[in-house]
Structure 1
Amino acid sequence: MERFKDFMRDNGAPVALIVGVFVLWEVFCLVAGISDILLPRPTQIVAALIRYWPAIWPHTWQTLYTTLVGFGIGVLVGLLLGILIGSSRLAFRTAYPLLVGFSSIPKVAVVPIFVLWYGAGTVPAILTAMIICIFPIVVNVATGIATVEPELEDVMKTLKASRWDILWNVSLPRAMPYFFAALKVAITLAFVGSVVAETVASNRGIGNMMMIASSSFNVPLVFAGLFVLAGLGVALYLLFSLIEARITGWAHRKTDLATG
């Protein structure tokens, strides 16, 4: 009971605001007489979730699988590239413009190329999720490593530390807050990549389900898919936030300021 009271004291206002948005949405649709083909009410969306959940679940699992696999590969590649670019001026001047140019390409434009290479299915969705989340990880890790205080590096050099020692003991720990900030952005982008690929070149996944539902004018099911994606994104965002608090709590300033 005490935990619930603490939760409501800390989060009561945001929860009330979110609930209020959905209540206003429901009332607006009812008063304005908006058809569910244009904008379904939240209650209709929840009803669609319950009614079609046995069919939604396999698509949800497929999207979650492709997103996490693509995200994991993207994190590994982005971390390695970020370390390389942040540690070397030559690598920064060579690779960074290429990454900026590649990240500027709409990812939906590369999906047909992946389909041409690997065929329609899971692989294009994994690759799209991977490439869409690499850039924020590279930028943040490289920034974290490149902005380490020179004084810390000088102290390590006076102790006869090698470049690897400096990287492992100073640069990487200092880059961890940047890295976790990038993870929270990248996981949401990875879902975007997976769903884009599923709408173009897959017969499974939330994106494919939403395309089929829209073609049959089942708009509540389309919004149910959006709600599922939003729920997955929020859940993984919160998970990485908890991990971040555990690992990089030293880097965050206290929010409880002393008064009086």
Structure 2
Amino acid sequence: MSTTGNRPRRNQEPEPVRGWFARLFRRPTAASIARANLTTADPASALATGMRQAEALASARADRERAIEALADRIRERDGAYRERAQLLAWLAALHPTTVITQSPDVDEPGWQLLYLTAGGWQMSWHIHPRDADLFEHVTVVDVTNPRAQWDGHGTVEKYERIEEHVRLLALDEPGRDGASKPVTTAVRAIVTEGARFRALVLSDVWAALRDAPDGPLLDGMRIVNDLMEKAQQAELDGNG
């Protein structure tokens, strides 16, 4: 405060607001209201609220543990299925000596391999996880530049179609459910039938040559050929059936 003559003059700048005074005008927050209610509430009610909160927390933790265990079970089931898949592929690879395996060029993680299996003239490929590498020690390892390890562009759907067609080829499957014969199956049946007929003709010629031999019929040889002819004729009947 300053004076002008005998009259005091008040300073025009306001006094700063003190911290304790400012708190009197501070707006209450939700947290402060909750704390105030907690401190002013009945002790028994506060205890019950705390117990409910503790139970809810324990239940949430139990749910979390069950979810973690369920996830672990699913992971174990997935890994088991992949292991069985790898074992079946190792078996197929042993049945197809042209199968090769190489480092996978399209997986960033180290240790992944790519299996190339050719069956029925079709290429099929699978990625092999590092944990299953021990199952494929009997497969020839080649470099990624090897001609036998070059992907022909087939996708998953096409691979399954090739497997299905190869199964039909091996099993000489019957016509499809709609009654229409499959082209591959029909062709294979024709080849089998023609082969059986050809074998029967050859054996018939041999039998006639033995029968008409200048030194007389060779009974032992004719008996053997006769048995072979009967088998060929039965195969032809089976093929036509």
TM-score, normalising length from structure 2? 0.22
Higher strand proportion, which one? Answer: 2
| RCO higher in structure (CA 8 A, sep ≥6) | 1
Give the number of the structure whose alpha-carbon radius of gyration is greater: 2
TM-score, normalising length from structure 1? 0.21
Higher helix proportion, which one? Answer: 1
